[in-house]
Structure 1
Amino acid sequence: MEQKEDCNDWEQPLLKKETDVAAEMAGQQLALKPIKPVGLSWRGVSLSIPLKGKKNKGKTKEILHQVSGTAPAGRVTAIMGPTGSGKSSLLNALAGRVAFIKGATLEGELSVNGVPVESGVVRRLCAYVVQDDVLYSFLTVQETLTLATHFYLPSALSEQEKATYVRDVINALGLAKARNTIIGDGQVRGVSGGERKRVSVGVELISNPSLLFLDEPTSGLDSFQAQSVMSAMGSLAQSGRTVVAAIHQPRSSIFDLLDMLVLVSEGRIIYAGKAQDAVSFFASQGWCCPPQFCPSDFFLDVISMDYRSPDLEATTRSRIESLHTAWQTQQRKRGVEEEGGLGEGMGASPDAGVDRGYQSSWPMQFWMVFLRGLKQNKRNKFALAVKILSNVFFALVLGAIYSKREGNPPGQTSIQNFIGALFFVAINQAFGNLQGVIQVFPMEKYIVQKERAAKAYHLSSYYLAKLVSELPFTLLGPFIFACIAYWMVGLEPSLSAFLIFTGFCLLEAICAVALGLVVSALSRDVPTATALAPPVTIVFLLFSGVFINVKSLPTGAQWCPYMSFIKWSFNAFAVNQFKGMTFACPDPEGKGCMSTGEQVLALYSMDEYGLWQCALALVGITLIFAGLGYAVLRVTSQKYLKMIPPSNPPMPTLLSAEGPHSV
């Protein structure tokens, strides 16, 4: 990279205001409610996090250092910088979404339309589009946006008004052709990457926000899709909204769409102002952008750190510090020479975008989340088929192994056979149904965090709706299993006994689902949940009453079996099968054998409880698991750092449409 004293010999590339695509998108304005313009400014934003490891105890790493700037209303403001520069951290700090880390500090001042506010206020009044498109894969574009209207729009609006709202958003974002296409994911084909990103934007637009944040909106998209997404953002800005996007390295046509530019490197501000003036600023420092060269590429080349050698690292660090100092010096001079106004849209009412809280009632929240879960599970035919086929497979295997019939009354070997078959049923229903739901919360974690931050629903309504929506598809497998296995194994040949057996299979399945949700809530990701599920289930298996007699347990551990849902299920299966049953004894005097089912129950300490006690125990344990799962979700819910006033405030800034000016 060559530094020049004079850039006049190089013709500077002219930055067009809009491309043809942007002009086309601009004609598709959103027919939404009028908004109050919101101008956002920030001053002295600093973020530091503690370093990990015993050697680094008490040490911190500075992510952002005294960053100031402004995002005027009706403008597209881009935050750019190399990887690890702090651009996403700055975006999250402005949006009030810096994840809580023990020992981390976030300092700074935020103002909305010139009125100082807390970071939590900005978080509640803005919309935020995350980098990864977190959407439900089996819902269509229309269904996704319609669901958002029930979450984010006032309940007083009619269904027709909400449908019109969805239609306007779809048309404005160019999603008409994909209206009835499912979102899709890595396994299921759906909309394209650019369409998925625009759907994510559309979901946030449902609440008609004045302020929109986007984290890497073009990441993972091809050039055309990236262009269409940013063109849509330009259209939204023209409708009066404030758009702030963290973007890595936009192509030249996308850079032309930007109104304001904030360049960050090593957590420090390098430039903040009009995008078209950035080239001139770098030229004034001897860094000339070559003709026909993409400005964004040039900027990143200049402000990126080079760690290939100590000399290169020192050189690039010195260059970045020099540019940072030059920008601060220039701002001080400009602040003395001119008085910055509030700029376009900045003089609007400070209550623009006031947090409206939850827009729908608790029952409506429950119902909409329940319907969403129902559709997602119903359309996931592969997962549903696996659940059914696995239950059919194990039922057939169990039936084939234990299908041999003995005389009437059955002999002594039948006791072991029945015990083995019934214990297998208890284990199979526990493991199978628990494994079926452990991925629920890790897979939906980011969706729930985003929706709850926007106050789409209460945690309680979401949790209960998820629990209930999982049951129909969970119970179908155990029901089929019971219908096949019961008669093939040759258990008590009566309809009442069969219905009781089936009922307890379903009860155990529900209990296993509740436990699975606890494991799911405890897990950060799917691999963790998968690894955690077996040992948790084995603990309950050990106290099932087969491996050790309950009465033989140490005094301090004799309460454990009462929390084992496998024990209560097995107890119920055994009572249902053995009570009133007789067995043939080869010894006429009955020595060394058991002639009644009651003797078998007594041997396994299962003669103390009847079917009703077992049923009540399973219901009680299910409620305990359900409450525990909710408590875990509540405790592990995403928390955010609160921005506090800076300990060493920078010089005050005057806000204008051109950017911050120090005085």
Structure 2
Amino acid sequence: MEIESTPHSAPLAQEHDEVSIFTKCKRPVVIQFEDLVYKIKNKDKETKKTSKNNGWRTILKEISGEVLPGEMLAMMGPSGSGKTTLLTTLAGRRSSSSIIMTGSITYNNTPFSSSLNRLTGFVTQDDILYPHLTVFETLLYTALLRLPKSINKQQKVSHVEAIITQLGLVNCRDNIIGDHYLRGISGGERKRVSIGQEVLIDPSLLFLDEPTSGLDSTTAQRIVSVVGELANQGKTVVMTIHQPSSSLFYMFHKVLLLCEGHPLYFGKQSEVMNYFSSIGYSPSVAMNPADFLLDIANGIVMGQLHGNEVEVKEELVNAYNENLREKIKEEIRGKGEEKRLEEKKGILKSNQKWNTSWWDQFTVLIRRDLKERRHEAFSSFTVFQVLILSFISGALWWKSKSLQDQTGLLFFVTGFWGSFPLFQAIFKFPQERLMLMKERRSGMYRLSSYFMARIIVDLPMELILPTVSTAIVYWMCGLKPMPTNFFIYLSIVFLCALVTQGVGLAIGAAVMDYKVATMLASVIMLTFLLAGGFFVQHVPIFIAWIKYISYIYYTFKLLLGSQYKENDTYKCGNKMMSCRVDEIPIIKVVGLDHQGLALGVMLFMFMFYRVIAYVALMRVAVAK
């Protein structure tokens, strides 16, 4: 079913009336974090040996703070100061292994939960979007997956149109997103689309990682202005930002300044300059406050390096400990307790883990994948590669009547469709890893609905090119002209391509690394190819077992069976004698018997490798 959009001429007021339930935060949330310490395990062996902390590195060092509904907190600091780590930790997205975290984080005096996760929006620094979808399609598919079933499709479409208008995306509404290789919308528009995906769910909490990175000052100001409007609606907004302009800096309500994991300041933006002046640090000339804060966080005083950066940083850390630490903790514990208890009642309490049913997720993902995958599956390079090899094969084996040549052709076809889909499939899950983790963490869909949609969409796309290639090769090369033989041959090629794809999906999901996956796939494919029965007829017993796990061997066996029978004969000995086909050395080694068993093994492999892929995906796609 195609997606229908509302007409552009629909009155904006009408759209807002239909979706007024999204415009104001109905469940305000207070974030409190106290004495937060975050350590990670060093992976480098040499570092572990020389480390004073038994191989653990401290990223965050006793950080405390509070963000109220309607406030926008900017976390600033030099690169490597721990901003992103703190942001992901506050958003409930910290890794579950190889870390130690102490201190407390509460949301309306309760820990993070799956219910709260559905009220949380997280905008990553890199915009993770499908390049071939339009702005409208990207936002609509997000709405269909993340908004609850209680909202009908027309309301979701209207809500998407309202968000597009609110974010200033009307002019690029029907333009594709694009990427490094495909021209699409601008960087600022991509960032607004990413924000729009999170705003769609009417989040109580909104986290943004470097939302202005790589953007010009005008675009950056527009994005922060939009985020500021969301905060004014009662949402709690936290963002990391590296070096904002002065106009951006004054938009923030609170500032947290970090230096090598240490807090140097937490409090109101309007009081930050007075605080540093009170401890003896103030700019000698008029300058952007954000630039001044980054300078002192780097140990730079009055714009000059004096070689005493370490001392400056230590003084600032000590000043924070003496002047702010206990004051902040007292405010967290005592200030606004009654208000926070009232807001606690507004948190969504639900045992329902998913906003939409499995079937709804599956059908939406099917439609989305069909729009995105067709560009990948039928790229001009892929189609050209298959067509040119098919015609070259047809020319080389043109109307061949030699059994030796025909068996060579059948093994070539086996090798091609036993490798081509493999190297197409191994990259699919690694390429989508970030997208899968992003969408799963936001609770968009079940892993099973994603996987099944992916498999179903790939099936017809993986079969069209083998059909075209077979139609060319089969008739050009003079194989048995009977329709029955042709369709059996085609079915075997289909099965080979699908099994090969399953192997690629399993390898890609298990490894999730392009180079390692390619190397592993090459070793497996070449091993199965050598054990396929064509190159080596006398295989030592200790290694002969490999052919029984080789899909190349079973495909070759089935293809031979599609053309020859055990009792078939051919003219040999200067065409004066009749010889049995199954006495040809290559066919004798592979055999024409047990065709049903070979078919059963291939069908088992078709399922087995996909189960392996799904299990492997569970390891990397668990929603945090």
Q: Above 0.5 in TM-score?
A: yes
Of the three residues 19, 23, 29, the one matched with 1:38 is 29
Structural RMSD (CA)? 2.6
Say if 2:39 and 2:58, in contact at 8 Å, map to a contact too: yes
In 1, distance between residues paired with 2:504 and 2:361? Answer: 23
Q: CA deviation at 1:52?
A: 3.0
- Equivalent residue, structure 2, for 1:450: 438
Q: CA deviation at 1:236?
A: 0.5
- Equivalent residue, structure 2, for 1:110: 105
The amino acid across from 2:276 in the alignment is F
- Equivalent residue, structure 2, for 1:605: 590
Give deviations 1:64-94, integer Å, cap 9, x for gaps.
1111011111111111110000111111111
In 1, distance between residues paired with 2:177 and 2:383? Answer: 25
Equivalent residues in 2 for 1:231-380 (5 A)? 231-304=225-298, 315-331=308-324, 334=327, 341-342=335-336, 346-354=340-348, 357-380=353-376
Which SS does the other structure have where 2:324 is aligned?
helix
Say if 2:135 and 2:172, in contact at 8 Å, map to a contact too: yes
Say if 2:362 and 2:453, in contact at 8 Å, map to a contact too: yes
- Equivalent residue, structure 2, for 1:67: 63
Give deviations 1:105-163, integer Å, cap 9, x for gaps.
112201222x1314777545421111111111111111111111121111132111111
Which SS does the other structure have where 1:595 is aligned?
strand
In 1, distance between residues paired with 2:101 and 2:343? Answer: 27
Say if 2:123 and 2:194, in contact at 8 Å, map to a contact too: yes
Say if 2:265 and 2:324, in contact at 8 Å, map to a contact too: no
- Equivalent residue, structure 2, for 1:501: 489
- Equivalent residue, structure 2, for 1:585: 572
Whether 1:178 and 2:172 are equivalent positions in the alignment is: yes
- Equivalent residue, structure 2, for 1:462: 450
The amino acid across from 1:437 in the alignment is A
In 2, distance between residues paired with 1:344 and 1:228? Answer: 35
In 1, distance between residues paired with 2:31 and 2:477? Answer: 71
Q: What's the % identity of the aligned pairs?
A: 33
Whether 1:91 and 2:87 are equivalent positions in the alignment is: yes
Give deviations 1:596-619, integer Å, cap 9, x for gaps.
223337512322222x43332221
Of the three residues 378, 381, 386, the one matched with 1:386 is 381
The amino acid across from 1:43 in the alignment is E
- Equivalent residue, structure 1, for 2:213: 219
The amino acid across from 1:434 in the alignment is L
RCO higher in 1 or 2 (8 Å CA, sep ≥ 6)? Answer: 1
The amino acid across from 2:107 in the alignment is V
The amino acid across from 1:219 in the alignment is S
Q: CA deviation at 1:622?
A: 0.6
- Equivalent residue, structure 1, for 2:145: 151
Give deviations 1:405-459, integer Å, cap 9, x for gaps.
45xxxxxxx1220111100000101111111222211111111111111111111
Whether 1:488 and 2:476 are equivalent positions in the alignment is: yes
Cα 1:336–1:123, aligned 2, differ >3 Å: closer, same or farther?
Answer: closer
- Equivalent residue, structure 2, for 1:142: 136
TM-score, normalised by the number of residues in structure 1: 0.84
Say if 2:440 and 2:621, in contact at 8 Å, map to a contact too: no
The more displaced of 466-475 and 261-270 is 466-475
Say if 1:478 and 1:505, in contact at 8 Å, map to a contact too: yes
- Equivalent residue, structure 2, for 1:621: 605
The more displaced of 93-102 and 172-181 is 93-102
In 2, distance between residues paired with 1:393 and 1:295? Answer: 63
- Equivalent residue, structure 1, for 2:621: 637
Q: CA deviation at 1:203?
A: 0.9
In 1, distance between residues paired with 2:168 and 2:362? Answer: 31
- Equivalent residue, structure 2, for 1:643: none
Cα 1:165–1:613, aligned 2, differ >3 Å: closer, same or farther?
Answer: same
Number of residue pairs matched by the alignment: 592
Q: CA deviation at 1:304?
A: 1.1
In 1, distance between residues paired with 2:284 and 2:115? Answer: 43
Cα 1:348–1:337, aligned 2, differ >3 Å: closer, same or farther?
Answer: closer
In 2, distance between residues paired with 1:32 and 1:194? Answer: 27
Whether 1:192 and 2:179 are equivalent positions in the alignment is: no
Q: CA deviation at 1:292?
A: 3.8
Query: Runs (4+) of structure 1 moved beyond 6 Å?
Result: 335-339
Give deviations 1:522-561, integer Å, cap 9, x for gaps.
2334344333321221222232122334x84525x55432
Whether 1:50 and 2:45 are equivalent positions in the alignment is: no
Q: CA deviation at 1:387?
A: 2.3
Unaligned stretches of 5+ in structure 1? Answer: 1-27, 407-413, 641-663
Equivalent residues in 2 for 1:508-657 (5 A)? 508-549=496-537, 552-554=539-541, 557-579=543-565, 581-586=568-573, 590=577, 595-600=579-584, 603-610=588-595, 612-637=596-621
The amino acid across from 2:598 in the alignment is C
